[in-house]
A and B are shown apart, each in its own frame.
Chain A
Amino acid sequence: MVILGTALLSVCFLLGVTLGDILGKLIGVKANVGGVGIAMLLLIVSRLYLGRKGLLSAPTLNGVHYWGAMYIPVVVAMAATQNTLAALRGGRVALLAAIGGVALCVLTISVINRLSRDASDEAWEAENPNTPPV
């Protein structure tokens, strides 16, 4: 049933966020620490576990896949609700600090990704040619 997939997703989400809040409290940070990441790990683990037991029917899977596919539209909506005006009015310090930080990070990403390539990368790329998002 579709709802079972969506319910599984919701339970993982709520558990993850709760654990993230507790983790934040434990280390004394006023923020959720990795709640979404923990939820993702929970979902991966439960997919493996339930899949092995044969408990994931096609409709159940659809109950999760639908929300995964809604991700890009949600990101578009998120972009439409950014405080773009404030970003542009933040002045040169905000602009330069952001540009400088991003530029240096982009370079670092490029260096790390070039250095860490191995044979498995080409295999993955060959198997998964870049396709436009749905």
Chain B
Amino acid sequence: MLQFFKHAIIENGLLAAFAFVGAITWLSNELGTRLTKGRIHGSAFAVLIGLGLAYWGGALTGGKRGLADLPLFAGVGLMGGAMFRDFTIVATAFEVDPVLAKKAGWLGVLSLLLGTVIPFIVGVLIARAWGYTDPVALTTIGAGAVTYIVGPVTGAAIGATSDIMALSIATGVVKAILVMIITPALAKFMRLTTPRGAMVFGGLAGTVSGVSAGLAATDRRLVPYGALVATFHTGLGCLMGPSVLYLTVKAIFG
């Protein structure tokens, strides 16, 4: 019996993932309402449980895709992959009020620029303090602090070594996870209560996975506004990383 059930799960991975994530979400909502009386959204617990499971999967298999590296949970990889993530993000745009989005447009652009430059500078300075002097390494680590996609794209463009690339990706992943976890907790401090606030957040926090998960656990209706801006973040970072930012670092530290 168990053998057949296992077979059914492996053969129908995506559907098994729907059931599995449904169970996690139900559990998280119970935790949210019973333990914290609804003060912490169930989604925040769900994301934390997800990250914990990702650690467990990584520790068991040594793979890079968290839980999805276990054959039984391969479907979670499809469900949580870029295709479904971006598809559902686009779907949330259906609830966007174009007037509100337009009004905050210039703030969104400013936030995007700051959201690229600020983490980059911090990344470069920390790498410099840790003894890295090569402009290529400094730029690649700094770009990783922007997002985990900007890091390797920049590194590949300017010829970074693979250990620096790995460090750069790790920086970006830590950032994404950090944003997921701290956003609900710091939502009040950041004034994440309006569409414009969410757009500023989307530009500055950047990393799409962090922004999307963070806003989802804060206030669902703000998700499309934050995501609308954040999706331009990686593109801007990939544009600025190997060009302006690299040349600046080279001029200062080269």
Contacts and interface: CB of A to CB of B under 8 A. Distances in A.
Contact of A93 (B32, B65, B130, B197): B130
Given A76-B43, A77-B79, A36 B119 contact: no
A79 B98 CA distance: 30
Interface size on A, as a range, is 35 or more
B135 interface: no
A89 B62 CA distance: 12
Nearest to B69: A81
B contacts with A: majority SS: helix
B8 interface: no
A41 B66 CA distance: 33
Given A75-B47, A84-B54, A116 B200 contact: yes
Nearest to A105: B204
Interface string A64-103: 1111101111111111111111111111111111111110
Nearest to B24: A76
Contact of A124 (B107, B114, B195): B195
Contacts, number: 351
B217 to A, nearest CB: 7
Given A24-B235, A106-B186, A65 B122 contact: no
A59 interface: no
A80 B67 contact: yes
Contacts of B208: 36
Contact of B170 (A20, A33, A64, A90): A90
B190 A128 contact: no
B173 A86 contact: yes
Interface in B149-206: 149, 153, 156-157, 166-167, 169-180, 182, 186, 189-197, 200-201, 204-206
B91 A80 contact: no
Nearest to A71: B88
Interface of A: 9-10, 12-13, 16-17, 20, 23-24, 27, 29-37, 39-41, 43-44, 47-48, 61, 64-68, 70-102, 104-106, 108-110, 112-114, 116-117, 120-121, 124-125, 128, 130-134
Given A78-B81, A79-B54, 13 more contacts: A31-B235, A40-B227, A43-B91, A70-B88, A71-B89, A73-B21, A74-B79, A84-B58, A84-B173, A84-B177, A95-B174, A105-B205, A113-B191
Interface of B: 17-18, 21-22, 24-25, 32, 38, 41-43, 46-55, 57-59, 64-68, 73, 76-77, 79-81, 84-96, 98, 100-101, 103, 107, 110-111, 114-115, 118-120, 122-123, 125-127, 130, 141-142, 144-146, 149, 153, 156-157, 166-167, 169-180, 182, 186, 189-197, 200-201, 204-206, 208-209, 212-213, 216-217, 219-221, 223-224, 227-229, 231-232, 234-236, 238-239
